[in-house]
Structure 1
Amino acid sequence: MRKVVSPDGTTIAYEKAGDGPPIVLLNGSFRDHTIFDALVPELAPHCTTYVYDRRGRGESGDSPQYAVAREIEDLQAVIQEAGGSAVVFAGSSGANLAIEAALAGAPITRLALHEPFYRVEGFPKPPWNVAKTLRVLMEQDRRREAVEYYLGSFLGLTPDTVAQWRNGPIWAVNEANAHTLAYDLAICGDCTVPADRLAGCTTPTLVLNSTGTSEWLRAAARATAAALPDGRSLELPGSWHRIDMDVLGRTLVEFATA
């Protein structure tokens, strides 16, 4: 992988592919750049894609003290590698991070978000002590329990669904990246849609959700789009928190090259 050094000295690993206008892909909880392995071939004939490992994951470095501002700087460093400005596509808690980056003035020309982790009125928020509980579990190196707790208490998955995840092929990656879940919790804050702040964001933004996702994620996507002066929402075919890849690829190409 290629490397770029973030302002605080942390090395961020990224891959570049394709040809055309630049688009940076930003992942959410647990994952590293490989989550986009199936999406990059859909985009590469039309766009120059940049995928990277967020700090603390994969081949990227980390710092002793975490701050959301450092992750914003990481994204900006990758955008600089892309030529100084770029379209950004981000999903899950990565969508929350991309929003914070746009609000901080990152050179994002267009922003595509997939189901940011907010809770609108009528849907319960995660427990108030979720971050503290997760921190205690990680201090005791109880990675499996930390992952299960995050999936159940923060994402609201049922015990049966968590068990399915536990028996799935990527569970080892989930446990390996469990220490970064605290980063995502910090990014999401109290999970309230920052409507007042979003009102000042002029970046053209497309907020996506899938037909098969949870109602709270669907509601959050629509509320986010509604709060943005240049935002629109779009529902695409898919399952829980996942859009059919060919449809997502076509939609992002159209959005990034318009």
Structure 2
Amino acid sequence: MRKVVSRDGTAVAYAKAGDGPPLVLLPGAFRDHTVFTYMLPYLTGLTTYCYDRRGRGRSGDAPDYAVEREIEDLVAVIEECGGEAAVFGGSTGAVLALEAAMAGAPISRLTLLEPPYRLPGEQLPDADLATRLTGLVARGRRGDAAALFLAQAAGLDQPGIEAWRNGPMWEQSEAFAHTLAYDAAICGDFRLPAERLARLSVPTLVVSSDSTSAWLAASAAATAAAIPDGHHAVLPGVWHRVPAETIGPAIAAFVLAG
């Protein structure tokens, strides 16, 4: 993997592939750049930049976290693309992509998968979620931190959490548990920032799965509706995921349409 140095001196590792206009891919919670391995063959006509967010994989970290540092990481990768790029973000990575765009990052187009915003009337995660996550990790309770995040941020019930715990993602979930507070901080109070999104001028495609949770589907639709040049697409998939062979071509078509 290649590396670029972010503004605060943190090394950010990324992998570059393909040929065409640049697309930077942002993973959500629990994930590193490898989550996009199966999507890359379907992003034809694009040069992809997949990176490990700080604290994960081969990227570095810093003692003090701030959402602004993650935005600077993304901007550093975009500078490697030539100064402007389209961006795809999944889940909390979608929220980070939106925060970067609203902060003025040089993003030409946004493609997003199910940002986990809550709409009015829906239960919000606890206000001290990030603090609780940090405390659990500090006490060596990484599995408990992962379970807390899944319950509060992802909205999973106990059977869903147990299924995750017994699945192939659990080892990585525990390994990246120290970054869950980062994702919680990125999401803030988890409310849909409709007024801020209304000032966003970047063309945006928000994708949701036809088999996801009702609140995630509603969030995707509301996010697209709040953005002046926002578009919503419902694609065949499962909970909080659309297969690579389905979402990849949709992303490529939207990016190349610009």
Deviation readout 1:42-64 (Å, 9 max, x if unpaired): 11x31100000000000000000
Matched, 1:185 2:196: no
Q: Distance in 2 between matches of 1:124 and 1:76?
A: 33
- Tell me what 1:228 maps to: 227
Opposite residue 236 of structure 1, the aligned amino acid is: L
- Corresponding residue for residue 256 of structure 1: 255
C-alpha distance in 2 between matches for 1:130 and 1:73: 24
- SS of the counterpart of 1:242? coil
Partner residue of 1:33? 33
Q: Residues 142-184 of structure 1, C-alpha deviation per residue, up to 9 Å, x if partnerless? A: 0011111111222221211111111112211100000000000
Report how many aligned residue pairs link the two structures. 257
Structure 1 position 199, deviation (Å): 1.2
Partner of 1:174, secondary structure, is helix
Q: How does 1:41-120 map to 2 (within 5 A)?
A: 41-43=41-43, 45-120=44-119
Q: Are positions 1:133 and 2:132 aligned together?
A: yes
1:19 correspondence with 2:19: yes
How far apart in 2 are the matches of 1:243 and 1:205? Answer: 17
Give the TM-score of the pair, scaled to structure 2: 0.97
- Asked whether the 8 Å contact 2:12–2:54 carries over to 1, the reply is yes
How much has 1:246 moved relative to structure 2? Answer: 1.1
Q: Which amino acid aligns with 1:186?
A: A
The within-5 A match list for 1:120-159 is 120-159=119-158
SS of residue matched to 2:160: helix
Contact 1:91/1:113, CA 8 A, preserved across alignment: yes
Distance (whole Å) between structure 2 residues aligned to residue 139 and residue 2 of structure 1: 31
For 1:16 and 1:176, the matched residues in 2 are separated by: 24
What is the letter of the counterpart of residue 14 of structure 2?
Answer: Y
Give distance in 2, aligned partners of 1:155 and 1:204: 26
Deviation at 1:122, TM superposition (A): 2.7
Cα distance in 2 for partners of 1:158, 1:227 equals 29
Q: Partner of 2:137: helix, strand, or coil? A: helix
Q: Deviations over 1:43-94 (max 9, x none)?
A: 1x31100000000000000000000000000000001111111110101001
In 2, the alpha carbon distance for the partners of 1:234 and 1:54 equals: 26
CA contact (8 A) 1:127 1:154 kept: no
> Would you say the 8 A contact 1:76–1:106 is kept in 2?
yes
Root mean square deviation, CA, Å: 0.9
CA contact (8 A) 1:26 1:52 kept: yes
Instruction: Give the AA of the match of 2:226.
Output: A
2-structure distance, mates of 1:20, 1:154: 35
SS of residue in 2 equivalent to 1:64: coil
Where structure 2 has 5 or more consecutive residues not aligned to the other structure, the ranges are: none
Instruction: State the SS of the aligned residue for 1:238.
Output: coil
CA distance in structure 1 between the partners assigned to 2:59 and 2:119 by the alignment: 34
Contact 1:111 1:205 in 2 (8 A): yes
Paired residues of 2:42 and 2:248 also in contact (CA < 8 A): yes
